[in-house]
Amino acid sequence: MTESPSTSTSPDPSGDARETIIVGLDQSNSARAALNWAAEYARLTGNSLRAISIVDWPTGLVGAADGGLPLETLLLFPNEEQSEDLQRATRRIFDQASPETGWDLQFRVGHVGRILAQESRGAQLLVIGTGEHVGLGRVLIGSTSHYCLSHASCPVVAVPGDETEAT
């Protein structure tokens, strides 16, 4: 499976990539916390923000265990209706952060950690949520935060979610 090109929901700012904060976004509480932290930091520093929502295929849909999509869809590539529902739900989360002009939300398909590490090249900062998978879930799915901490090309901020959220 090759990773899909990004689908941007707003124009890509033409500014310096070093001024961009990248944040991984799904429907989990820790991703929401990461987005809120990144948004506050971007406002304080005057940087642009690019949130990237990634369907982790073929492993499954990131955030699905948090009430996103039913279990039977985890190992299947989402159909158009599921993709649209996921994008609408993610857009609502992004909009709750009150995005500034020039902030961007993109949708991608592929290995979450790999895509975020690639996007970190030239970025000022990568912000990710933590605490999603423990035990067997971490063995089967792996840790996106660990992958990003090991492979990102810029500093990484790992934002914990609600402690009761672990799956």
Residue 1 lies in a domain: no
CA atoms within 13 A on the CB side of 20: 20
Question: What does the pLDDT read at residue 55?
Answer: 84
pLDDT tens column, 13-34: 444 556 899 999 998 899 999 9
Question: What does the pLDDT read at residue 110?
Answer: 87
- Residue span of the structural domain in which 70 resides: 7-162
Residue 167 lies in a domain: no
* pLDDT at 90 > cutoff 70: yes
Residue 33 lies in a domain: yes
CATH code for the domain of 87: 3.40.50.620
User: Judging by beta carbons within 10 Å of its beta carbon (0-12, 13-18, 19+), is residue 126 exposed, middle or buried?
Assistant: buried
Residue 2 lies in a domain: no
How far apart are alpha carbons 19 and 31 in whole angstroms? 21
Q: What is the pTM of this model?
A: 0.74
Domain count, the chain: 1
